[in-house]
């Protein structure tokens, strides 16, 4: 299968590319240096050059707090850029897989969010990603929208790497304990995307590692697993705090837990528990030169 991947140098995109290649697919990786997705003509030229059978659109503006000031840039990438890629994909009849986020919800629900629950994004990042979803739904004839949460992987900055770094530098850390979600390992998500795009089971999907935790509980697990896997002590004391004690420009969802109804009803295997993914990631990190 011929697959074009945008955002190929990013945290998820890099693992999507390697996962597809290992499965024997012909992959066309595109990053910001090789494709400006805000340029509609460039998108069409690239798609017509490669004529992919599927496009996995990982490229996005993801700097959540900065988006509150850079509104036009966030929409240019997440909305206009997505529209450009969808329209180009339609010209060659390619399936379109759009990676979205838990931020399209307001996070106020007491229960996990279903795929077809009403969205209500509160941040510019969330609103711009929801705009991208709407354009995909309106313009693509063969789409997958895949919402995920709390993503981490080998390529790029993330919460796990930050905790491990700070754990060696500081005697104590405060971590928010009133926001809950499901940490998602990029390798596990990439393997699901690989399976998904080979089908015609189009629609909206929620895909994250299963089971839930708060950021505080996630931090505790990171140090617990790291002590065992890396064989060294992290003397840092991790203390819980509230969202109000850690103010940020963009509002965060209090509840980011995603229900996986579409995965189950379409006969896919669900992703494994988040702690299993974390364990494998720390092992990978320990032998990586990145």
Domain range annotation of the chain:
2-157+183-210+256-272
Tens of pLDDT, residue by residue over 106-123, are 999 999 999 999 999 999
Say if strands 95-101 and 54-57 run parallel, antiparallel, or are unpaired. Answer: parallel
Closest CA to 65 of 253, 248, 244: 248
Stated pTM of the model: 0.96
pLDDT, one tens digit per residue, over 212-248 is 999 999 999 999 999 999 888 888 999 999 999 988 9
Query: Using an 8 Å Cβ cutoff, are 79 and 128 in contact?
Result: yes
Which tens digit of pLDDT belongs to each residue from 26-62?
999 999 999 999 999 999 999 999 999 999 999 999 9
pLDDT at site 224: 95
Contact 178, 242 (CB under 8 A): yes
- pLDDT surpassing 80 at residue 289: no
pLDDT-derived band at 290, boundaries 50, 70, 90: low
Per-residue pLDDT, 231: 87
Q: What is the average pLDDT score of the chain? A: 96
Measured in Å, how far apart are the chain's first and last C-alpha atoms? 29
Active site residues: 125
Tell me, rounded to whole angstroms, the distance of Cα 201 from its chain centroid. 20
- Between 234 and 86, name the one with better pLDDT: 86
Burial class (CB in 10 A: 0-12, 13-18, 19+), 290: exposed
Cα 235 from Cα 170, distance rounded (Å): 9
Nearest-angstrom CA–CA distance, 112 and 205: 13
- Does the pLDDT at position 17 exceed 70? yes
Answer for the pair 281, 153: CB distance below 8 angstroms, yes or no.
Answer: yes
Q: How far apart are CA 28 and CA 47, in angstroms?
A: 10
Radius of gyration of the chain (CA): 19
DSSP 67: G
Fold of 2-157+183-210+256-272: Rossmann fold (3.40.50)
Q: What is the DSSP pairing of strand 151-152 with strand 172-176? A: unpaired
Which tokens belong to 256?
Answer: 């980011």
Give mean pLDDT, residues 91-111: 97
152-208: pLDDT as tens digits: 999 989 999 999 999 988 899 999 999 999 999 999 999 999 999 999 999 999 999
């Amino acid at each position: 299968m011929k697959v074009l991947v945008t955002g190929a140098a990013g945290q998820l995109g890099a693992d999507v590319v390697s996962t597809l290649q290992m499965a024997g697919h012909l992959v066309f990786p595109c990053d910001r240096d090789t494709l400006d997705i805000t340029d509609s003509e460039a998108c069409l030229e690239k798609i017509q050059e490669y004529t992919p059978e599927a496009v996995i659109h990982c490229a996005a503006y993801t700097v959540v707090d900065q988006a509150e000031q850079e509104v036009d840039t966030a929409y240019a990438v997440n909305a206009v850029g997505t529209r450009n890629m969808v329209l180009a994909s339609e010209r060659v009849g390619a399936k379109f897989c759009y990676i979205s986020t838990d931020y399209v919800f307001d996070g106020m629900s007491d229960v996990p969010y279903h795929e077809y629950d009403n969205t209500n994004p509160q941040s510019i990042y969330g609103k711009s990603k929801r705009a991208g979803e709407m354009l995909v739904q309106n313009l693509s004839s063969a789409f997958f929208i895949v919402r995920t949460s709390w993503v981490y992987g080998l390529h790029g900055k993330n919460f796990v790497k930050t905790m491990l770094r700070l754990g060696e530098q500081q005697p104590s850390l405060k971590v928010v304990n009133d926001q809950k979600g499901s940490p998602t390992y990029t390798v596990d998500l990439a393997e699901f995307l690989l399976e998904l795009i080979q089908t015609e089971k189009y629609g909206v999907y929620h895909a994250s590692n299963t089971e839930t935790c708060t950021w505080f509980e996630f931090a505790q697990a990171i140090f617990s697993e790291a002590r065992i896997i890396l064989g060294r002590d992290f003397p840092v004391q991790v203390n819980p705090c509230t969202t109000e004690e850690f103010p940020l420009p963009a509002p965060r969802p209090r509840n980011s837990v995603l229900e996986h109804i579409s995965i189950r009803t379409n006969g896919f295997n669900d992703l494994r528990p988040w702690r299993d993914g974390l364990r494998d990631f720390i092992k990978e990190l320990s032998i990586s030169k990145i």
